[in-house]
Structure 1
Amino acid sequence: MHGSKLNQEATITYSQSYSAKIISAFFSQNDGITGQQIISLSPVKQVNFFVLKELFDEWQGEIQKFKSPYFDYENDDVNQALKTLINTLSKNILITKEDFQPLLEKAVTNTLQLLYDPAGYYTQVLMDSDALDKAQELKSNSKYIKLHKALFDDLLIKLGKNTGTKQTIEAAASDYTGYETELAENVALFERTLALEILEKQVAVDELPMPEPLDELEEVLSMDEPKVATPPADTSSSKEINDEFEPIADLQEEEVDEEEDGLSTNVNEQYKEDIRTLNQRYEEKEKEKTVAAVLETQSLSNLKNNININQRYMFVNDLFDGDDQDYEIAMDEVEHCDSFDSSVELLVQNYAKKHDWDMNSDEVKELLKVIFKRFR
């Protein structure tokens, strides 16, 4: 299903309708939205980070307005003063409903394009860029990419080998194996708010739903706020003022601090919601009639044999502190559990505490996903 053909008109209409629901729910109780609130606004994490990317891009344009041929912007005092102003503003984001709506709509549209056709999305992004170093141009967006991340990382590596951009993207997309899983998961997240039918084979142009007016929407959405893992810090030593505005890093550092303060001392209680969400997610996937969905929900006869090399490397290093023997013992124990819930209980009691797992991390969720298939 790589490169699924999107109905562009349906995609735009859906983005407007989806955004209208999200905005109506949020602004019925708030006059403005802050950076922290943006991070957890939509159940689809990529939407939230694309909003921040749009905000960052807009802010880069604002930074240029500071510059003038009549002043020395290379002066240390001037440079430091601007950096202080920029960092202060980045921690005091506040956007009204009217100004936020176009940011959200564009973020939803870009997320849908990346979700269904990642190769087409990156081709468009890189072809529209004037940068000579395509790998570096793409790397500058790494903190905002949360969807099809394995493809993104592989693309960065391949772009560094000086091959043609289009051919490189096609090669990376061809090697990518996580497409169907991420597609199903994120479609389910979108549909918690609004049914998603935007492919050419799904939508007739004359049957497109019109977006609901914001002022007439009264339903407040009930949604779980997804936790967001802290992105890697930017170690760039560049002195460009544009690089100083990084709301993602500032916002997420504060968010993680707040989350840690509110963690329950009972680890089992902390993960009940994760288990419930995983079960709901895979029950929804069972209802799909595609061959990929059927294969996705089939039980694994042997857990360790169905964990690929990349997954094993990730689990051992990120979850078991590089201890291969501990990992092997844990997988053997899970293999002999009689249910998904009992296997999670085992991991929580014997390994999560021992290795200080963050159960909202991508690594833990990936492991739970593999184990879940073991008991289907």
Structure 2
Amino acid sequence: MSNKFNASSLTEYCKSYARKVAGDFFAHHTVISGQELLKLSPVSQVNLFVISSLSDKWRSDAERFRSPFFDFEHPDVRQAMQVFMNTVSQHISVRRENLEPLLADATRRTLILLFDPRHYFDEALRNQPDFSLTADAAHLLTRYTQINKFVPAALEERMKGKSVVYVNQALNWLDEILMQRGRELEKPEKYIPLFSEKVLLDPGMLLRKSSYDSLPAQPLPAATKSFFDTEVENTVIPAAPLSPPPVNGSGTTVNGTPPDPDFTVKTHFLSDTGSAEEPVAPSMQPSQATAHLSDISTLEVNPVVNEESNGPVTVGETFYRAPIESISKSISLNQKFMFINQLFNGNAASYNEAIEELNRATSYDQARDLVSYRYAAQYLWDMSSDEVAMLIDILKRRFA
């Protein structure tokens, strides 16, 4: 477990996220298929990790099917087994009670990959069987990694011509890759709104304080092929916009750029491996590379004094005390997701209607009555909650 995280907060968030995502889907379905899994979460990496878990299960089931009483190496048997397993893979059908644990684990892995990529890849390598990394395992790691994909791709590139290496060699490569290309690691900030579409993601609650302060579809193939053998086109997550750019009829974005080919995943699991070469003797010493993130400093405005602390008021405090002309425009994106999820039961339309009505109020007393006697009763709000207090503060600024 990465020591950057508050373990209990990470576990609770992952369970809540899995519960919300599964609940939204299974409110209208009884089972979910493989193609539906690929579009289940707004965060494509979460979906890929779920598929990865299913593929591991698929492979292990194929191995358990073998019996010492029959020749499973006979060409006819091998061919029949592959056709059978590939056909089974085309009929993925998962119920909610079986999906939620996979979703929670996929969410956990994605968050660690985002906020502590060094630990994620280190752990992925150390968990390889027999402390050895095979070419097939390296290829699978690349295939199911969308975020910071360049790391496993570089590892796989260094394995060319080698069928297997000891993990200590792979860890040395990992150190070199991160030291040379560490600046290419993706920023977690661009994924926070995507997670918050379902459940508000607050890094300040998720991470330990020291870590937080240092932060800067296509159709099914023929039944003779495996679901895990098909090409899966994943949605490209833009770095700057908070929602993906629209796509026109020609299949390109409005600005004419094609989808990012790096998010194409190909899978094949029943492949033969070559003979292992003699690897270098292993070492269990941990790898030495560390991630460095920029510090965040707080600006202070000297002439203004905070009445509660008798200290200078920060820029943020000055901003949040200033009067506003529009309630909706003063609510940040993270606040919006929090209000929708915590106050309006995840219903964005109800949130929009309420904000518009509050914005039309002619006085603070009228707006406060709407909150106290209408919305609180309708949505069973806890008037002492932080979310309601935050909304009330915004109303005070609106009618200041």
What's the TM-score bracket when you normalise by the shorter of the two chains? 0.5 to 0.7
RMSD: 3.8
Task: Give the structure 2 partner of residue 319 of structure 1.
Answer: none
Task: Give the structure 2 partner of residue 144 of structure 1.
Answer: 144
Q: How far did residue 93 of structure 1 move?
A: 0.5
Amino acid across the alignment from 1:199: L
Farther-moved stretch of structure 1 (154-163 vs 192-201): 154-163
Task: Work out the CA distance in 1 between the residues paired with 2:138 and 2:261.
Answer: 24
| Deviation sequence 1:243-279 (CA, Å, 0-9, x none) | x985343362xx79xx9xxxxxxxxxxxxx999x953
Counterpart among 237, 241, 245 of residue 279 in structure 1: 241
Amino acid across the alignment from 1:185: K
Task: Give the structure 2 partner of residue 222 of structure 1.
Answer: none
Q: 1:101 to 1:79 in 2, by over 3 A?
A: same
Where do 1:198-217 residues align within 5 Å?
A: 198-201=206-209
Q: 1:281 to 1:176 in 2, by over 3 A?
A: farther
Q: How far did residue 51 of structure 1 move?
A: 0.2
Amino acid across the alignment from 1:156: E
TM-score by length of 2: 0.52
User: Does the CA contact (< 8 Å) of 1:91 and 1:247 recur in 2?
Assistant: yes
Task: Give the structure 2 partner of residue 358 of structure 1.
Answer: 258
Task: Give the structure 1 partner of residue 35 of structure 2.
Answer: 36
Q: 1:155 to 1:187 in 2, by over 3 A?
A: farther
Q: How far did residue 124 of structure 1 move?
A: 1.0
Task: Identify, as 1 or 2, the structure richer in strand.
Answer: 2
Amino acid across the alignment from 2:51: L
User: Does the CA contact (< 8 Å) of 1:126 and 1:134 recur in 2?
Assistant: yes
Which protein shows a greater Rg?
2
- State whether structure 2 residue 174 is matched by structure 1 residue 169: yes
| Deviation sequence 1:44-72 (CA, Å, 0-9, x none) | 11100000010111122211221000001
Aligned length: 240
- State whether structure 2 residue 78 is matched by structure 1 residue 79: yes
Task: Work out the CA distance in 1 between the residues paired with 2:237 and 2:61.
Answer: 41
User: Does the CA contact (< 8 Å) of 2:87 and 2:225 recur in 1?
Assistant: no
Q: 1:67 to 1:45 in 2, by over 3 A?
A: same
User: Does the CA contact (< 8 Å) of 1:139 and 1:156 recur in 2?
Assistant: yes
- State whether structure 2 residue 243 is matched by structure 1 residue 247: no
Task: Give the structure 1 partner of residue 26 of structure 2.
Answer: 27
Task: Work out the CA distance in 2 between the residues paired with 1:17 and 1:203.
Answer: 22
Task: Work out the CA distance in 1 between the residues paired with 2:116 and 2:36.
Answer: 28
Percent identical across equivalent pairs?
Answer: 26
User: Does the CA contact (< 8 Å) of 1:4 and 1:117 recur in 2?
Assistant: no
Q: 1:68 to 1:16 in 2, by over 3 A?
A: same
Q: 1:14 to 1:179 in 2, by over 3 A?
A: farther
5+ unaligned residues in a row in structure 2: which ranges? 219-223, 247-251, 264-400
Q: How far did residue 187 of structure 1 move?
A: 2.2
Task: Work out the CA distance in 2 between the residues paired with 1:112 and 1:279.
Answer: 20
| Deviation sequence 1:170-227 (CA, Å, 0-9, x none) | 22222234556442222221122222231111899xxxxxxxxxxxxxxxxxxxxxx6
Amino acid across the alignment from 1:250: T
Q: 1:107 to 1:73 in 2, by over 3 A?
A: same
Q: 1:362 to 1:53 in 2, by over 3 A?
A: closer
Task: Work out the CA distance in 1 between the residues paired with 2:141 and 2:102.
Answer: 17
Q: 1:361 to 1:75 in 2, by over 3 A?
A: closer
Which one has more relative contact order, counting CA pairs under 8 Å at least 6 apart? 1
Q: How far did residue 165 of structure 1 move?
A: 3.5
Task: Give the structure 2 partner of residue 291 of structure 1.
Answer: none
Where do 1:91-170 residues align within 5 Å?
A: 91-131=90-130, 133-134=132-133, 136=135, 137-158=137-158, 164-170=169-175
Task: Work out the CA distance in 2 between the residues paired with 1:66 and 1:131.
Answer: 23
Task: Identify, as 1 or 2, the structure richer in helix.
Answer: 1
Task: Give the structure 1 partner of residue 356 of structure 2.
Answer: none
User: Does the CA contact (< 8 Å) of 2:125 and 2:133 recur in 1?
Assistant: yes
Q: How far did residue 114 of structure 1 move?
A: 1.2
Q: How far did residue 27 of structure 1 move?
A: 0.2
